[in-house]
Structure formats: C-alpha cells, structure tokens
A and B are shown apart, each in its own frame.
Chain A
C-alpha cells in the first residue's frame, strides 16, 4: 500500500457537498506525507462529468473518504472514474460489509479488477468516517486493468527505470520523442494554484508619483493626468518662448521640460525655427 502511494504522481480526491471543508486540507496533507511526489487534486463528485478531465490522468483516486457516511458511486460516475485512472492504477473507497457483494459487482461491472480489502496500516484513510460506519465496513482497493499491453508502464517498474538514471552525469540518456500524442501531456492548468491565478495589484505600482516625488502619469494613463501634464508642460513652454540655456538646438534629449522647441527635431544653432501650434492630442 505504501508503495502505491510512494510511486503515485497524481492523486485525485473526490469529495461531496456534504464534506466539511475544513477537513479537506488536513486530509490532503496526510496523503501527501505518504505520497511525497504526487500532485494531489480535489474534485466535487457532482462536477466530475462536466469538468472533462483528461483520460488516464491519475495514479490513485480516493473516493468518498472525506465524508462521514458512505455514498455509493453511480455506474455513470464509476465509469468516469475508471476513465480518469491510468492503466494499472487504483481507486480506494470504503464499503459497508452488508453492501460488499453488490458494491464489488458494480466495480467489476465497470471494469475494475483485483478488488482487495486493505489492512489496518491504511486505516488513516478512514479517520474521517464516523464511528459506526468505520466499524461496519472496510477499505477496498480496486485496480484498473492494463487494457492495452505497452500502453503504459506498470507501476511496479517505475522504481526500476528510475534506477537506471545516472543523476550525476546524464549524458545522452534521455531520448524524448517530441512527436508523441497530446494524450501523453500533463494538464498544464493543474500546475497552477489559486495564488497563481491572481493578477498583480496595479495599485502597488505606485502610479501618480515618481521616485523623486514629482507627479507622474502611469503608462496607460486613462485618468487624464497624462494629458494634463503634457498640456501644462506645453503651456509653460509657450509662456517662455525665450530661452537662454543654449541647449534647445540639441534635441529633446537635452532640452528642459518646458522648452518651447520640445517635440521638434534638433536643428543648427542659430537656425530660425517656427514653433507649430499644438493641435489636439
């Protein structure tokens, strides 16, 4: 059992509206302890069909363990869970003793094989079940068959293949065929958490004043500050048409903020320049 968790790369925990939300995270952490390298996702059972996750994406699906009572998966739901599992991977659920025969039939009907009761080592998985449910039932592990030989590497072999990795000096070890099918790609949206989906707060960018305290419009100014600043610059320029700094002819890079020649190309010293009137910006 521990090995299954240790090798898992992606785990789905199916929850229900009746689950207490405060239980979700601690439960996930507990799983994560056992499955250090796994990406653990949650999905509400009601949303499963609609969320259209990719086929064969999970190594383990944990069904119905974060609610106090057992809820039976419908055939439809079970089919969907079957689809989401990778070949040879597992679903774990809790089944009451008196429902065992019916329940296991249903699992088998949907194609699961190797249905086995789990031993006491796994009881951490049913800590959220209420006392009587726990007493009257047990945890079951069912496997999805490898329906196509060569479709996927059986879990057992993963350790083996990792051993071959010379991690110190990898030289031409990895041959990755870039032309494989889309089906073999991870769901990149699953890489992002809630924090990643947030956008930066533009207000933190300190618009309105520059580092030296001068009023300054931000890049895509829509509040009118940009025009106001440009206008006042231009007005002050128009008032001081006479200039004595001697840099005017050099070009905007060297002109004062209020230079009457602002916006014109550089010219020869002494050349007579007509300042065009500014039309509407």
Chain B
C-alpha cells in the first residue's frame, strides 16, 4: 500500500486548509494518506518512512517560516545532511505567498532548493501561489498543478488515482449527545485514514485569562474609524505574561452571539445542548474527550463560524446536497474550476461569511449531521497585536491599540473583523485569553544609540511603550518618531497624552507627524522622511541610529524604504545601486528592522 504524506507549515491557516483539501482528495482515492503539521512529524520518521510527500508551506513575516515548521526547518537545514539523505523521497511543493511582500514565497523556494540539494526527486513542478492573483491562491494552483500532480503520482505508484471531490468522507469527530436519560444519539462515522491534527496555535500554547480594566476609544465618535486603547490587568500572571517592548500579545477571540444563534437555528440545534466529542483516531485534538461541551461553547470559542469560506467548504457542502434540488446544481456550478470567477464574485469580493452561505443553502444545511461542523469550519485562529505598553513603566498591566475592522460591501450587513470586533465590545472585568510571544523579527535594542521609529497608524503601538521606557527608565534621549495618521484632530492617538507632550518639550523625543488628510495633497511618513532627510541622515550615518519600522504591510514599508534610499542617495552622494546596498547592509546588521502586518 502506498502512502502519500502531506506536510504543511501554516501561520494563518490557509496552508492548513489547503493541506486538508488535498488530504480529502487523496482519501477519496484508494491511496492511504497522512497529514501532519511539519513540526508534528519526527524528522527521523520523515527521512526513514516517507516516500511520496506533498509540502504545503506559506511564507510569513519578513520571509520567515511559519511557527509550526520551525523545528523541521532547523532539522533540514543542518549542514551535516548530504545529497544522499533524501534520494528515496519523491516530493512536490505548494508555496503560499503574497507578492505584496518583498520576500515572496521565500520559504517555499528555499525548501524546494534544499530538498533538491539533499537528493529528493520531484513528482511534478512546484507551484508558487500568490494571494495577489485575482482569484487568490486557488487561481495559481488550479490551472496546471493539480492534474499534473495526480497524473505523475499515479505513474509513480502504478495505480491510477482519480480523486473524487464529491465523495463524502467520514467526519473527523463523532458527537454523543446528552439528555436526561444520558446518551441518546450518536453520529457514528467510519474512519479509514489517519488524521493527525493539531492546530499548533491553539493546542501548543497555554492561554492565560486576564481581565480588561479599560476600553477607551481613541478617535472621536464622529470619526469613521473606531480605534481602541485596551488595558488588561496581568498581575495574576506576572511570570507567564512577562513581556518586553516589541513583543506581541496573542489573543484568542470568540465569535459573537448573533452569529452563534443564527448558525444554531440553521443546524436546528439548541445552544445549551451538551455532548461529548470523540475523535475517530488516536491523534491529538483540541477537544477533551472527558468533558461535556455545549453547542454555544463550540460555536463561540472553537470554530470560526463567520469566516469567508474557501473552495473546500463548498466541496464539502456538495456531500450533503440533495441531487434533485436547485441548491445542488448551484453548488456544482460554484465548485467547478471554470467558474472560479463566479465563486469569487459570490463569496470573496463581498466577503460573504460561511453563515451567510449556509443561509442561502439552507435546505442542504438542514441535511448536514451536526458532527460535520468540525469538518466545515476551521478552528478560531488567535490574532497577534504589538503590545503598546512598557513592562517597566506600565507595571502590572498591558496595553493594546486595536483598530476595529468594519466596512461595507454589496452585502447590506457590515463586515466585521472577528478579533477587533470582539475586543471592542468587551466590557470591564470580562476576561480575555492571551499569551505573549516575541515578535521574531523585531528586536528593540536597549542601548543609548539613537532610535528612529517609523510607525504610521497603529504601527505606533510598539513604540508607544518603548519611548516612555527609553526616556523615563533608561534615560536615553535620542528618540525620533515618525507618525502618520489622517487628521491631527481625529486619529493622532497619543498627542494628547501628558507624558508625550512633556517628552517633546524636553527634547527627549523628536516627533514628526504626517497628517495625510489635513490638506489637499496627501502627506505620508515617507514624505516627512524626505523633508527631514538631512537630520535623519545625520542620525543614521553620524550617530549610528537604528531604524525601526512598524505598521501595515501593504504599500507603506516599500515606500518608506524608497524614501530612505532617496535621502541616502542625496546626502551620501551614492548612486541607486549603492544606496540599495547601503540599505541591505543596514538590514543585515539589524540597524533597519521592520515589523509589519496586514
């Protein structure tokens, strides 16, 4: 019996979802298939037992590997491996990346080069999917890769593989309902394949529950955007939630009640109904077999029920659809490869959620056994926020700046970001699940070399605490902050803070703000960098300043780097190539660092 091993490295869950999709397809053939997060497979086991391997890896941060493949990465990049080590392995690879970022798909590119170096053979050419493709990552993967992959794999193992996306697979879990007479009803499923599932983000980390002590809106009520300053009391977990400036707080949000209720109605279940969850395999799960769960709990704390669905969600809906109904016809249309535009217009662009799709397909939904909710929805993914306070200044508490995501599309109900909405609606003394992790890319140096901080919008968060710490704890007075926002009177978050003004008056902080909408032409931080070029260059070149850049990943980082390049060319009298080289050197020596998010 041949076994295909699917290994994924996933940060936001997209790679994991895709891996599960391929796992489903493989299971619909006679192929045995194993699925692991890369760090969940023992490296020795991988080398000695895997023959056919599909890697699905994303690239995160500044060209970094996802958290759940760090260990594997360290193992495979070991110098002592030779070009014989993997010569018995056949692999192919799907890279997930976003060409908005400079280090597009670096993890996938490096991994495939390394696998080749170690002697691995290819099943078919790798594919580097780009989230900027008009059809998202599906757009890059569908065209050629899938057919080539199954065809070549069939040839290699000598068995024809014809995946059937419509074949209904057993659920990951069965559910044992409880009523007054104990267990009354079980949804049994026959598992025929191994399923190794850990959401490394939720299972591995222990979250600590901390109370909210203040939730203040930083922008005026008539401003379009709601930005919050949230404060949490962490003194019960001083050790566990010990942090440094530049670190990140990871928060596990809940889905909101209105969505939970809508979904329960669609599935025709009571929110307070209790049940046990039994895994069909022995593999690790986020659920405890020995405790009772309620529908409410599962929908609010575990499953991301109002996510925008991906293709595999529709593939699964088809399993339950009644073949004679209009819903079945429509689902077939939406899942056909040629109709990806259609699916895109229906779901992706208007940011339609799973619940809204299930409303449209309510007949099909009513036929779905409840235990399949674990297959349809992915686990709620924790979200990271740069911490805005300093442990040395804001003793015993922790601050976050959160811009609430809310916008409209053609769908009448406004779209809301899961975590920011959850946080903004929290009341005082409500508890939030949180842990601390170091940013990985951002390392704020606590020495007296000058610091140039560039943090437009909520990018100012990590600097807010750090500047206070540098000035009032360490006594370092060479601090420059380039901040950007729309209006001085609306979203210049900290200008009214007493400390802030004192530091500016005492020349402990050089504060340069770009208010993009306060005049006709738009002025951003990059324009201010050029305007204050002489001073910034002196800080960089003569005073050995370090530059820290934080904020939205979209266009800002590249434009800021262009502005830095401009002043380097101008004041150092260098040509463009040399200026690029100069910036590269700054990055290499950690004198230019960026922490960006989307």
Seen from chain A, the residues whose Cβ lies within 8 Å of a Cβ on chain B are 37, 39, 50-52, 162, 165, 167-176, 178, 180, 182, 184-186, 188, 191-192, 196, 199-200, 202, 205-207, 210-212, 216-220, 226, 230, 233-234, 250-254, 262-266, 276, 278-281
Question: Can you show 12 pairs from A to B with CB atoms below 8 A apart?
Answer: A50-B585, A174-B47, A185-B77, A192-B110, A211-B338, A212-B341, A219-B133, A219-B134, A219-B135, A252-B346, A254-B330, A266-B360
Q: How many of chain B's residues touch chain A, expressed as a range?
A: 35 or more
CB pair B84 A165 closer than 8 Å: yes
CB pair B79 A184 closer than 8 Å: yes
CB pair A52 B588 closer than 8 Å: yes
Bound Cα distance A135, B316 (Å): 76
CB pair B109 A185 closer than 8 Å: no
CB pair A176 B360 closer than 8 Å: no
B45 to chain A, nearest CB (A): 9
CB pair B330 A170 closer than 8 Å: no
CB pair B113 A202 closer than 8 Å: no
Comparing B296-304, B368-376, B406-414, the segment that makes contact with chain A is: B406-414
CB pair B359 A251 closer than 8 Å: yes
Interfacial chain B residues near A251, Cβ < 8 Å: 359-361
Do A230 and B410 contact each other (CB < 8 Å), given the known contacts A185-B78, A205-B134, A219-B348? yes
Q: B85 — nearest CB in chain A belongs to which residue?
A: A174
CB pair A266 B362 closer than 8 Å: yes
Cross-interface CB contact of B359 among A52, A216, A266, cutoff 8 Å: A266
Cross-interface CB contact of A253 among B130, B360, B589, cutoff 8 Å: B360
Bound Cα distance A170, B89 (Å): 11
Seen from chain B, the residues whose Cβ lies within 8 Å of a Cβ on chain A are 43-44, 47-48, 71, 74-75, 77-85, 87-88, 99-100, 102, 104, 106, 109-110, 113-114, 117, 128, 130-136, 139, 326, 330, 334, 338, 341, 345-346, 348-350, 352, 356-357, 359-362, 407-412, 585, 588-589
Interfacial chain B residues near A50, Cβ < 8 Å: 585, 588
Q: B73 — nearest CB in chain A belongs to which residue?
A: A188
Cross-interface CB contact of B77 among A167, A186, A207, cutoff 8 Å: A186
Bound Cα distance A2, B283 (Å): 52
Interface of A is mostly: loop
B559 to chain A, nearest CB (A): 14
Bound Cα distance A63, B324 (Å): 76
CB pair A211 B341 closer than 8 Å: yes
Q: B333 — nearest CB in chain A belongs to which residue?
A: A253
Cross-interface CB contact of A207 among B110, B134, B362, cutoff 8 Å: B134
Cross-interface CB contact of B83 among A37, A169, A184, cutoff 8 Å: A37
CB pair B360 A252 closer than 8 Å: yes
Do A219 and B132 contact each other (CB < 8 Å), given the known contacts A188-B110, A266-B359? yes
Bound Cα distance A212, B338 (Å): 10
CB pair A180 B133 closer than 8 Å: no
